[in-house]
């Protein structure tokens, strides 16, 4: 039962990922793409946690944390760039 | 500096999830050196008032409630076939003086029903609002800011 | 593994994933970049928090680290959406025709 729920959650997250991916490719502006990228990384964090659950390996949680950290910095840098160039 | 040291050490211990001797030693050494290096730079974390602990806890639950309300609100808009939007940028004013207080206020506004902080200029905040009820400064402030301000004023001033 | 806590965790995971989906849907449906930021970041933040809570129910010994991830996301997500919104506004991103007022542009023009 729990396995099934975890799999359903993974499927819903995958669907969300596809929707965000659509916006990422469609744009139209650079800001739209960055928003889509931000959402993609947040979904990816949940996905990593789901993988950690099915594999039962806590080490993946560190991956999720570092990923959250780096994507945050990435989005900030790109946003600064959009504002006035590096 | 002590507050910074304590929060760094706490973060380290949570990250490792084990109170083993060598882990704690490395954590103490690293937190101490960072706290020493940044003894002036990160004062923003020291603005919190410890006596406001109870308010902080109540603020946390108030915030969670608002966050869930925000999402049901967004869900209603996104799922409606007609997309009922009247978006706009409004200007509001805060009474908060401290940097940390303003930071938390801006963050809270961003995560709550239909509002998103776009820019800040001293005591003025510019908010993108999904459904503008009133573009007047006083009315918009009452609708968006006042709920959080009551808590944050006690916590940070 | 089929305990009450396990089922609760599974339901939390489903709720979280549903909010993620909602965020994705908002991202596609909303008319301009500001509304997309609103829909995208709010729904996914709560979705991730629910997901982390669900994982904590399924693996209680991970709870501390999951809480750390959750706090980090709760603190940084609004900051990045704010910075993004400001960047979009300053780089004159297109606004939806529905936009009623823009006090920020009014003040900058003055």
Do B39 and B77 lie in one domain? The reply is no
Are residues A78 and A34 in contact, defined by beta-carbon separation less than 8 angstroms?
yes
Mean pLDDT score, A50-57: 87
Task: Give how many domains chain B has, as a whole number.
Answer: 2
Do B35 and B78 lie in one domain? The reply is no
Q: Judge whether C2 is closer than 8 Å to chain A, CB to CB.
A: yes
Higher local confidence (pLDDT), C44 or B114: C44
Distance CA C108, CA C29 (A): 30
Cβ-Cβ contacts under 8 Å between A and C: the total is 185
C64: nearest CB among B14, B119, B135:
B14
Residue B69: domain span: 51-155
Mean pLDDT score, C28-53: 86
Do B32 and B61 lie in one domain? The reply is no
Are residues C47 and C16 in contact, defined by beta-carbon separation less than 8 angstroms?
yes
Distance CA C108, CA B77 (A): 30
Specify the 3-state DSSP secondary structure of B120: strand
Tell me whether residues C100 and B132 touch, CB distance under 8 A: yes
Do B82 and B23 lie in one domain? The reply is no
C48: nearest CB among A29, A42, A65:
A42
Higher local confidence (pLDDT), B76 or C53: C53
Residues of A whose CB is below 8 A from C1: 2
Give pLDDT, residue B132: 76
Tell me whether residues B71 and C22 touch, CB distance under 8 A: yes
A1: nearest CB among C2, C45, C72:
C2
ipTM of the complex: 0.83
pLDDT in tens, B22-47: 778 888 888 888 777 776 655 555 55
Q: Judge whether B77 is closer than 8 Å to chain C, CB to CB.
A: yes
Residue whose entry in the numeric block shows the structure tokens 């004062």: B43
Among A64-68, B15-19, B80-84, which stretch is predicted with the lowest mean pLDDT?
Answer: B15-19
Do B42 and B55 lie in one domain? The reply is no
Higher local confidence (pLDDT), B67 or C53: C53
C75 C-beta neighbours (distance < 10 Å), count: 13
Are residues C85 and C35 in contact, defined by beta-carbon separation less than 8 angstroms?
no
Tell me whether residues C68 and B11 touch, CB distance under 8 A: yes
Task: Give how many domains chain A has, as a whole number.
Answer: 1
Do B96 and B58 lie in one domain? The reply is yes
Provide the pLDDT confidence category of residue B53 given band limits of 50, 70 and 90.
confident
Mean pLDDT score, A37-53: 90
Tell me whether residues C98 and B86 touch, CB distance under 8 A: yes
| pLDDT-above-90 percentage for chain B | 0
pLDDT in tens, C56-81: 888 888 888 888 888 888 888 888 88
Do B55 and B13 lie in one domain? The reply is no
**Residue C16, C-beta contacts closer than 8 angstroms, at least 6 positions apart:** A9, A46, C46, C47, C48, C49, C50, C51, C52, C53, C54
Do B60 and B129 lie in one domain? The reply is yes
Distance between C90 CA and the closest CA of chain B, angstroms: 10
**Residue A40, C-beta contacts closer than 8 angstroms, at least 6 positions apart:** A17, A20, A21, A24
Residue A12: domain span: 2-84
pTM of the model: 0.81
> A22, A39, A76, A85: which to substitute to probe chain C, counting the most C Cβ within 10 Å?
A39
Interface of C with B (CB under 8 A): 19, 22, 25-26, 29-32, 34-35, 37-39, 41-43, 45-46, 61, 64-65, 67-68, 74-75, 77-79, 81-82, 85-86, 89, 95-96, 98-105, 107
The interface residues of chain A toward chain C in range 1-30, judged by CB-CB distance below 8 A, are: 1-2, 4-6, 8-13, 15-20, 22-23, 28-30
């Amino acid at each position: 039962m729990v396995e099934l729920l975890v799999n359903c959650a993974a499927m819903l997250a995958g669907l969300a990922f596809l929707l965000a991916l659509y916006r990422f490719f469609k744009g139209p502006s650079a800001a739209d793409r960055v928003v889509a990228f931000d959402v993609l990384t947040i979904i990816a964090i949940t996905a990593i946690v789901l993988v950690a659950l099915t594999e039962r390996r806590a080490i993946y949680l560190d991956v999720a944390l570092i990923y959250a950290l780096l994507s945050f910095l990435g989005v900030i840098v790109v946003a600064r760039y959009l504002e006035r160039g590096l | 500096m002590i507050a910074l040291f304590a929060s760094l050490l706490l973060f380290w211990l949570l990250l490792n999830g084990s109170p083993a001797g060598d882990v704690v030693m490395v954590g103490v050494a690293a937190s101490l050196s960072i706290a020493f290096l940044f003894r002036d730079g990160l004062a923003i974390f020291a603005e919190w008032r410890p006596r406001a602990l109870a308010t902080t806890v109540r603020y946390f639950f108030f915030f969670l409630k608002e966050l869930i309300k925000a999402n049901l609100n967004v869900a209603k808009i996104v799922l409606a076939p007609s997309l009922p939007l009247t978006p706009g940028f409004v200007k509001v004013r805060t009474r908060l003086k401290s940097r940390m207080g303003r930071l938390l206020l801006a963050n809270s506004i961003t995560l709550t029903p239909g509002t998103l902080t776009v820019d800040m200029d001293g005591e003025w905040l510019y908010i993108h609002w999904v459904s503008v009820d009133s573009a007047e400064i006083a009315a918009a402030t009452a609708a968006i800011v006042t709920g959080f301000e009551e808590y944050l004023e006690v916590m940070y001033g | 593994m089929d305990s009450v806590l396990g089922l609760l965790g599974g339901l939390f995971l489903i709720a979280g994933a549903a909010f993620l989906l909602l965020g994705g849907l908002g991202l596609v449906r909303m008319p301009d970049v500001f509304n997309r930021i609103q829909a995208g970041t709010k729904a996914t933040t709560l979705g991730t928090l629910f997901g982390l809570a669900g994982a904590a129910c399924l693996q209680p010994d991970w709870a501390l680290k999951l809480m750390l991830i959750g706090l980090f996301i709760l603190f940084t997500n609004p900051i990045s959406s704010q910075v993004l919104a400001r960047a979009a506004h300053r780089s004159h991103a297109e606004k939806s025709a529905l936009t009623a007022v823009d006090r920020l542009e009014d003040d900058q023009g003055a």
